[in-house]
Amino acid sequence: MKNGAPIKIAKWSAINQDPVPTGIIILDYSPATIVKGDRIKVKLRINPSGFKVTKENIELDAWYSDTYFFEDGKSQTRASYVTPSDYYELVNIEPDKNEKDEELEGQWIATIQSKGTGNYRNLSELSFVVNYTDMKGNIQQVSCLYSIPIETVPTVNEGVAFSYSKVQTIYAEENTANPYIVFIDPHTYRNSQNKVWRYKWDFITHVDTEQNDEELTADIASLYDGHYISFMPNLNNAIWEGVKDNIAKKASSLVNIRLMDSAGNHKELELPITYCPSDIELKLNLSATEVNKYLNGSYFINIGKELEEYGLTQDFMSNLSITALFGGLEVGWWDEFPLLIDGWEIINENKEFEPVAEAWVTDEVNAGMETPEDEIATVSIDVTSTAQESTTVFSLVSLKIKLPIMIVDTD
């Protein structure tokens, strides 16, 4: 008492004070792989159980990050870049519940979404930090002692490429149908330490094809072990009769291929499955006036325009990532015809497809001359390819071309 008056003593009470977080525990530290743009859920326990977690008082803590960028194999440079800041965002925090939809005291579910633009793969170690305000009004933090490894992988549309020839020959061997091959090639990614990573076929969770089942039979079983999809022509169907019998120059049947990843992203290809005959004859009408200009020399015959009608355009191999191209020449028994085909090239100096036969002019030619049957030269074009990381070689084009010559008068 002071001067006979009672003294009031203020007492601090902790009854209304919010619980102070003391620890964060990640309940499952298993590494997680997500497709770019997708989400994962991580279960947490926050001690004490009475502390209320909100999106405003919890945040991600990135301990480590390593990014692999897509490389364009043609230019050997990075084809796209990622926003240099956060690759992940905490988009939601909610109480964990049991099967009866009852909240589990002290347990929470954090939803993390990957983010960032461009074609990339990221590896990160993520943890959590809880913020709270102490009695003095200062913001304090409680950190989790452990992290969870998270991998973000590209979407299927970014991670693979379709590889195929724009035309194939109808036969692989005599009277044996040649399956049309569409390779699924994984893209390559590289980090700042020059380490390489490739997209994995396992990230493709679903494959669909649409085709005329009377004309083609699809086989998708070889995707995961052989890294390709194939379509077998039904040789009994009328659409292929012309190329089988060398009446039609080419025939096509439209297909659609759709690949899907776990996040629902898809990559599609609409492709005309195009076949040409395996054996053809191109009758070459050559001007006597022009040929005689090259007497005792070489006369070059470009048959590129003729082969375009069979689907063998200059770019028919442009969608193949791995290609082997061969040309062959079978010379007939040369006797009387004054124009001998003795050379055959199918690639020009710019490494473009350009089929050119070389003929030696031994004597003057006259209109009306034509190659005797036993002196006709036969040239060949063979294209093979293989899937990446595979040793299985597929014959895509195996074409033999007879080149009879008729000398005409153009005057």
Percent over 90 (pLDDT), the chain:
80
117/221 same-domain check? no
> CA 34 to CA 116: how far, in whole Å?
13
Q: Strands of 160-163's sheet, edge to edge?
A: 160-163, 180-186, 228-233, 216-219
Tokens of 176: 């044996």
What is the CATH number for 76? 2.60.40
Contacts of 298 (CB under 8 A, 6+ apart): 343, 358, 359, 360, 361
149/30 same-domain check? yes
pLDDT one-digit tens code per residue, 234-274: 999 999 999 999 999 999 999 999 999 999 999 999 999 99
> 10-residue block means of pLDDT along the chain (411 residues)?
47 58 92 95 93 92 92 48 62 95 94 91 94 86 92 97 98 90 96 95 96 98 94 97 96 98 97 98 96 96 98 97 92 82 94 96 94 93 93 95 92 59
Cα dihedral 277, 280, 283, 286 in deg (nearest 10):
90
pLDDT at 231: 99
Contacts of 388 (CB under 8 A, 6+ apart): 183, 185, 186, 198, 227, 321, 322
126/207 same-domain check? no
Q: How far is CA 321 from CA 119, 165, 317, in A?
A: 19, 10, 9
Q: How far is CA 79 from CA 24, 37, 68, 73, 119, in A?
A: 40, 19, 12, 9, 8
140/217 same-domain check? no
Is residue 241 within 8 Å of 261, Cβ to Cβ?
Answer: no
Is 315 inside any structural domain?
yes
DSSP string, 230-289: EEEE-TTSGGGHHHHTT-SS-EEEEEEEEEEETTS-EEEEEEEEEEE-SEEE--EEEEHH
Is 209 inside any structural domain?
yes
Is 11 inside any structural domain?
no
Tokens of 86: 């956060």
258/355 same-domain check? no
Is 14 inside any structural domain?
no
pLDDT one-digit tens code per residue, 79-117: 444 333 469 999 999 999 999 999 999 999 999 999 888
Phi, psi of 159, rounded to the nearest 5 degrees: -85, -20
pLDDT at 2: 47
Structural domain ending residue among the three candidates 125, 153, 181: 153
Is 3 inside any structural domain?
no
285/403 same-domain check? yes
237/303 same-domain check? no
56/149 same-domain check? yes
327/381 same-domain check? yes
Structural domain ending residue among the three candidates 276, 308, 340: 276
171/201 same-domain check? yes
Structural domain ending residue among the three candidates 153, 176, 204: 153
Is 355 inside any structural domain?
yes
Cα dihedral 213, 216, 220, 223 in deg (nearest 10):
-160
Is 347 inside any structural domain?
yes
> CA 311 to CA 251: how far, in whole Å?
9
194/134 same-domain check? no
pLDDT at 19: 85
pLDDT at 7: 44
Can you say whether the dihedral through the CA atoms of 234, 235, 241, 243 is positive or negative? positive
131/203 same-domain check? no
Is 15 inside any structural domain?
no
Q: How many domains does the chain have?
A: 3
Domain boundaries, position 249: 158-276
